[in-house]
Amino acid sequence: MMGVKYCKACKKPMKSTETHCRTCGAEYKNSPVILIVILLILIGLCVFTWSKYHSNKVELENQAQYEKNKQIDEAKLDLQEKGISPDVAQKVAEIKSNETKTFSEVHLKEFENILSEWSDAERVAGSTSRISLAQPVSRLQEIKRKADSLKYSGCLEASRLLYLTAMNSHIDGYLEFMKGKESELAAQLKFIDYAKQLEQAENEFKKCQVHDEK
């Protein structure tokens, strides 16, 4: 049942929703208090909705960051187990977590040329006697410095970092070997590290080349 109110002018009953008295014609405007209450309710609903949305968004972002950090930690641990230093493993894991393989064709060709130079120099060093290794090792160091001076993006940068680690181990192995028979064990350990690190670098680089072919 509709509410009833009484006209202040003629005291006759009228519906609560009416704005004019049917008896005397007196006019009644809606109370501003009601409008203010309605406005406050609407504002409260908006604030609640936005707060809920923001809370859900932050929760999703935190969950995504947690998963990303977990992925980075797992990738880093896997690389370290394969002889990659913690610092390089961290950088490579972060690059891989971004899932970007963007790089230029020019950079890819440039890096392929460096790897070709390294492969040639490596074969020369491998067939050189201990007493004559100074020049071949110097060439390996020169190529390594060239690779170290570059900077790429995406998986190509991850490949560069992994190859640099392998190059350093290989050069260190030769430097130990050049010291004489007493350092052959240390040299052998470096060469073992090189083999494991090179495998990681080659695997990562192959992924880049596959992406480029697509």
Confidence check: pLDDT of 3 > 70:
no
> Using the 8-state DSSP alphabet, how is residue 20 labeled?
B
Higher pLDDT, 1 or 70: 70
pLDDT at 65: 73
Percent of the chain with pLDDT over 90: 40
Confidence check: pLDDT of 166 > 70:
yes
Kindly report the backbone phi and psi dihedral angles of residue 91, in degrees, each rounded to the nearest multiple of 5, phi listed first: -65, -45
Higher pLDDT, 83 or 192: 192
Q: Average pLDDT in the 10-39 region? A: 70
Tokens of 89: 């493993």
CA distance 46 to 7: 37
Query: What confidence tier does 110 reach under pLDDT thresholds 50, 70, 90?
Result: very high
CA distance 93 to 99: 10
14 sits in which H/E element: strand 13-15
pLDDT at 153: 85
Q: pLDDT tens across 66-105, in order? A: 777 787 788 888 888 878 888 888 888 888 777 665 678 8
Q: What is the DSSP string of 103-117?
A: --HHHHHHHHHHHHH
pLDDT at 48: 83
**Residue 116, strand partner residues:** none
Higher pLDDT, 10 or 184: 184
Average model confidence (pLDDT) across the chain: 84
Tokens of 4: 């009833």
146 sits in which H/E element: helix 134-148
State pTM to two decimals.
0.67
144 and 163 in contact (C-beta within 8 Å)?
no
Q: What is the DSSP string of 121-143?
A: HHHHHHTS-GGG-HHHHHHHHHH
Higher pLDDT, 50 or 38: 50
Q: Average pLDDT in the 127-141 region? A: 94
Higher pLDDT, 76 or 177: 177
Confidence check: pLDDT of 114 > 50:
yes
Higher pLDDT, 10 or 118: 118
79 and 200 in contact (C-beta within 8 Å)?
yes
For 79, 105, 169, 199, the CA distances from 186, given in Å and listed in that order, are 22, 39, 11, 20
Query: What confidence tier does 1 reach under pLDDT thresholds 50, 70, 90?
Result: very low
